[in-house]
Amino acid sequence: MRKGAVTMIDTPALYRLAGWASALAIVTFVLSGIALAIFFSIGEPWGSINDALIAATALLLILPILAVDRIAAGGAGWLRPVTVIAIAGAVLMAVGQILLILRVIDLNASYVTGGLGLLPILMWLIALVVLGLGAHAIDPAIGWTALAALATIVVFSLIAVVTLGPALWVASVVLLLVLSGWMAALAKDLLARAPA
């Protein structure tokens, strides 16, 4: 190998790792929701635990983002910029959560890093809808669950504007379930693409 050459992970290994990362992201995401609920009941350290689990979830999404880019590489040249900014968004979200845990930034600043990190990931979710339901470059189940996730995020956001009461808690649980379903569809497809 020549000096300075970049070694890419082979495709089956990427799909396998990305599938397991998606599955583990479900676990970290659900645990983050549980930690957040406990935090609102009894306080710290559960808020920091939630922040750490959100950071882990964001970082775990990087491998699936790369895997989808590899899957669609032949027919979706527009996906590469979306992939790059989605990875940057995941990293920004994770770094913001870690800086919040370390008290380098406050909660309001973490809303900025979290929001700015989330926007490119939402763009990637839209790309999954296009790839799954329009271009048929990935399993349509990923497209449908990504569409359901986007719709649930919109409904959740509208409820959050109106109330912080029980309706928001119900919407939070629904959002958690829908996003977990999307990550499960992603994990299933990626693991199916990796030979045993």
Q: What is the pLDDT of residues 118-177, one digit of tens each?
A: 999 999 999 999 999 988 888 999 999 999 999 999 999 999 999 888 888 899 999 999
Compute the distance between CA of residue 180 and CA of residue 153 in angstroms, rounded to an integer.
13
> Tell me, what's the pLDDT at 1?
47
* Per-residue pLDDT at 2 exceeds 60: no
Is residue 31 within 8 A of residue 66, CB to CB? The reply is no
> Tell me, what's the pLDDT at 181?
95
> Tell me, what's the pLDDT at 126?
96
Using CB atoms within 10 Å of the CB of residue 5, give its burial: 0 to 12 exposed, 13 to 18 middle, 19+ buried. exposed
| Collapsed DSSP state (helix, strand, coil) of residue 99 | helix
* Per-residue pLDDT at 73 exceeds 90: no
* Per-residue pLDDT at 100 exceeds 80: yes
Q: How much is the mean pLDDT over the chain?
A: 91
* Per-residue pLDDT at 68 exceeds 60: yes
Compute the distance between CA of residue 128 and CA of residue 142 in angstroms, rounded to an integer.
7
* Per-residue pLDDT at 88 exceeds 60: yes
For residue 52, report the phi and psi dihedrals to the nearest 5 degrees: -65, -40
| Confidence band of 4 (pLDDT split at 50, 70, 90) | low
> Tell me, what's the pLDDT at 135?
84
> Tell me, what's the pLDDT at 74?
67
Q: In the Cβ-directed half-sphere of 188, how many Cα atoms lie within 13 Å?
A: 11
Tell me the mean pLDDT in the region 95-109: 94
